[in-house]
Structure 1
């Protein structure tokens, strides 16, 4: 799916955190050092051939970059199992050294700050094949019903250097976009990000399909999709909508993708204009479930509603829509447009995107259905590990970044307790940080400023600790005592309850407080549990 201060990791030895050991390979992939920060990628121009039978890639990536600090060495990345054929600068082969998946490239003359440079990185090999994409990174080589090759790739978290040479860190996107030119056997098509700019019969049994991205793009979003596709074109106002699906599925797709227009209208009303209009919007049928590849969203939900025909919320609301269309498109705003600097902060992608599902439900089916939906999602959080991961070692946090992240945002909505203000904050958040690379501190500072509240302890409790806030209550005659139990000190958060079915609001802190209530029994007091993701313990 994009950066701030990242903790430096020493390159010697190993790094240990949270009872887990990290290797030099981890720090080389996840850390920032001078060889990475001394240059800024301007564009990638990828030109490759894919042999489906041999599961083999060959070609090159032209990498244009601006020198940020005087240097004679930079780091690029390519998985060890992929061969470096040569690296060429100004017509001459240059020297390099491999260290795990890192490639340290040396230049004959020092590169001067402010200058733009370019190199061509030739490579080849059999890329890693995913065992269970998209949950593990790699290529997927399958066949369609007619026996023709059907190929896709998903590498989020694993690293885009799995299949092409790149500066494999979310802090640096190619500012001036990219071209992706992919040659595949005649009779097949490749669909990549951005706009189709032409094809060429190479007269060797292969046709090259050329695509261009105008916007900055995450490394892991750059993709290839190879199949015997048919193309469906539509428009939403001035936005081009293009769908590439297997030939036998054209009619299914035309019906299923009717969900796209109301979804985009909803998201644009809540999050701002579609961020990548210059590159268009695409859904591309893939041999795996899905992925948020910018302007070429991977779709593999088999034309069902829910998540592969299943409602993960257990509420029935999840069967009202196609989960993959909605969730992966939400990433165009959260993850592709707004990107985290380090994957330890991936909740910035997944929490907001999972929340976008609830936003969609509210747009189409109303507030009550939306609260029912997100209330069902809450049950899927495990609360075993913090949401935020370890910085500098390419380590994501807990899978709770999805449901717990969304539930935290829904909780914040009801803490703010002013829907007009809340939707203005969410809209302006998307617009303020559009096509930006940020971190958790940036998010928290934004919400603090826009709400005029100190929400830092709330963010910290949900993101940096495994436990959710616990509201302890006691009823003594007609006196209700209440307090928060949290890992964070000086925690304060209002919370909604009902007393005999009548809504009330407690301004709870870590200190015991008392209010008079008309309740004969403690069981007459209930939490507004779909609105607030907290525990309540009756004592």
Structure 2
């Protein structure tokens, strides 16, 4: 997703780790947050392998009626199984192997009593029948729910976005980021004049009286919140992208009929975008399902292989956000970046959403660098600094359904953290090799923050834990402190992580120099004044402060 709130060699980084400060102590979390955010035995002891979502959508009354078939494997002792469904939707019955199952509800959690005995390793299919009026989004996509819209001809136009709020606001599932089904069928029935566009490939269109059913199939693992449906008077056109090895990727576009000409022009940006990302990370990760953009009545969302697009065929972000002399579609570039980080590489806890957002936000700059050069990319990154607030850590509290970040720092500051790491390493072949290798070694998998840090440290052959701890776990970036002592200017690095040492690029009287900063005062040289020193703010997110001691 997006948000508009919008030469010394590097020695080993040192860390004398102190207990982490709890910056979220004033946040209160409810039982519902815990039920969604934790993996107790009722959730951790089963693994979902497949979903079938069968849904009948009534746009007139804004109601849905449906059934979910959930295939799962027992992985531990499991007398009670938890699924999730928002309390405003009615559960009409739960069945397994021909038997009705008893269940109880607590808020948005549904606890199902399983037949006994339950054998570890056994596989089952559970059917959940449900319906009602789903949550309606008030400010999509920043709050989740159905978007019951009308197009310019006053015809029904419906979409769904639910990142953060969770897929359980519209269909029953194990609503935890750690468990992705291996594949999924999305079967949606609508009034006959409407078309349904969803994730994956369209397998069938079936006439059912005055209604029509559309069956879409996703052949790869998928985050639950990436599952979406889009209903409207769509027209389809297609194209191909030819990868560096010559293989052809299907490109499919679904737009409201009167926007066809605009879309055909705007979506020419897709192949150059895919080319840039293939250059840095490798081929598009969901090749067999194709790449699709689907016009939506809201701004956008990274729905896997069926990206929601609502940027009104404008440059930048609804005409703004990017520098005035640049002309590219922010929503295409950002949301498609999530196919790599967010959809292919995912996290298991909302606290670690920086992995999705920081890498993808940095990918915007890499897109600019690939097509317009490194100087243009640095200039683009500098425009993001106005959105960095340093209000709270990028890394949130674990094991609760935490989505209410105080700012967009897990986007923009996180991107600058990666850019600063590039400056710290001062070795682009190493940096880009590390990014590409990490992505390809973890393609279509779930990772943790610690896995990222350990991988980068091993690849770079230096301890990057203190660096990441400072930028991820504390609100403020490190500070390069200066003082004048006699005829000397001295410097040191102040940080929340004890012992943090890192190279910092500076200009001394406009001459570029790399300082190996440590917590100890060091002489910079005579013949200088503190006003002669400035941080290289095109490569480092490090603050500068003059102290008097």
By the TM > 0.5 criterion, same fold? yes
Give the structure 2 partner of residue 169 of structure 1: 176
Distance 1:360 1:115 in 2: 46
Correspondences of 1:388-537 after superposition (within 5 Å) = 388-396=395-403, 397-398=405-406, 399-476=408-485, 479-516=488-525, 519=528, 521-537=529-545
Aligned pair partner of 2:81 in 60, 74, 85: 74
Aligned pair partner of 2:205 in 199, 206, 215: 199
Q: How far did residue 95 of structure 1 move?
A: 0.7
Q: How far did residue 306 of structure 1 move?
A: 1.1
Distance 1:341 1:471 in 2: 35
Aligned pair partner of 2:352 in 345, 349, 360: 345
Give the structure 2 partner of residue 298 of structure 1: 308
- Runs of 5+ in structure 1 lacking a partner? 2-15
2:185 is equivalent to residue 179 of structure 1: yes
Give the structure 2 partner of residue 286 of structure 1: 296
Change in CA separation of 1:517 and 1:138 when aligned onto 2, cut-off 3 Å: farther
Aligned pair partner of 1:262 in 272, 280, 285: 272
What is the alpha-carbon root mean square deviation over aligned residues?
A: 1.5
SS of corresponding position for 2:193: coil
Q: How far did residue 108 of structure 1 move?
A: 2.2
Distance 2:460 2:300 in 1: 35
- Preserved contact between residue 343 and residue 395 of structure 1 (Cα < 8 Å): yes
- Preserved contact between residue 456 and residue 464 of structure 2 (Cα < 8 Å): yes
Q: How far did residue 71 of structure 1 move?
A: 2.1
Q: How far did residue 45 of structure 1 move?
A: 0.6
Distance 2:78 2:485 in 1: 71
SS of corresponding position for 2:28: strand
- Preserved contact between residue 171 and residue 341 of structure 1 (Cα < 8 Å): yes
Aligned pair partner of 2:213 in 205, 208, 213: 208
2:223 is equivalent to residue 218 of structure 1: yes
Return the TM-score normalized by structure 1.
0.94
- Preserved contact between residue 41 and residue 77 of structure 2 (Cα < 8 Å): no
- Preserved contact between residue 139 and residue 154 of structure 1 (Cα < 8 Å): yes
Give the structure 1 partner of residue 257 of structure 2: 247
Correspondences of 1:43-54 after superposition (within 5 Å) = 43-54=50-61
Q: How far did residue 515 of structure 1 move?
A: 2.8
Aligned pair partner of 1:154 in 155, 161, 169: 161
Greater displacement, 36-45 / 386-395:
386-395
CA distances 1:171-203 after superposition (whole Å, capped 9, x unpaired): 00002x100000111111111100010110111
- Preserved contact between residue 70 and residue 110 of structure 1 (Cα < 8 Å): no
Distance 2:71 2:236 in 1: 32
Q: How far did residue 441 of structure 1 move?
A: 0.8
Distance 2:252 2:208 in 1: 26
- Preserved contact between residue 228 and residue 246 of structure 1 (Cα < 8 Å): yes
SS of corresponding position for 1:537: strand
Greater displacement, 388-397 / 182-191:
388-397
2:27 is equivalent to residue 26 of structure 1: no
SS of corresponding position for 1:536: strand
Q: How far did residue 147 of structure 1 move?
A: 1.3
- Preserved contact between residue 80 and residue 100 of structure 1 (Cα < 8 Å): yes
SS of corresponding position for 2:433: helix
Correspondences of 1:226-245 after superposition (within 5 Å) = 226-237=231-242, 238-245=248-255
CA distances 1:6-61 after superposition (whole Å, capped 9, x unpaired): xxxxxxxxxx9521211111111111100101110001111110000111010101
Q: How far did residue 475 of structure 1 move?
A: 4.2
Q: How far did residue 387 of structure 1 move?
A: 1.0
Give the structure 1 partner of residue 7 of structure 2: none
Give the structure 2 partner of residue 327 of structure 1: 334
- RCO comparison, higher one (Cα < 8 Å, 6+): 2
Give the structure 2 partner of residue 5 of structure 1: none
SS of corresponding position for 2:114: strand
Distance 2:486 2:264 in 1: 63
- Preserved contact between residue 290 and residue 297 of structure 1 (Cα < 8 Å): yes
- Preserved contact between residue 492 and residue 519 of structure 2 (Cα < 8 Å): yes
Distance 1:31 1:439 in 2: 15
Q: How far did residue 263 of structure 1 move?
A: 0.5
CA distances 1:341-381 after superposition (whole Å, capped 9, x unpaired): 10011001000010000000000110001001111212211
Distance 2:175 2:440 in 1: 26
SS of corresponding position for 1:507: strand
CA distances 1:421-443 after superposition (whole Å, capped 9, x unpaired): 11110001111111111111111
Distance 2:121 2:24 in 1: 37
- Preserved contact between residue 281 and residue 435 of structure 2 (Cα < 8 Å): yes
- Preserved contact between residue 378 and residue 533 of structure 1 (Cα < 8 Å): no
Q: How far did residue 474 of structure 1 move?
A: 2.6
Distance 1:158 1:512 in 2: 48
- Preserved contact between residue 95 and residue 105 of structure 1 (Cα < 8 Å): yes
- Preserved contact between residue 285 and residue 299 of structure 1 (Cα < 8 Å): yes
Q: How far did residue 477 of structure 1 move?
A: 6.6
- Preserved contact between residue 71 and residue 110 of structure 1 (Cα < 8 Å): no
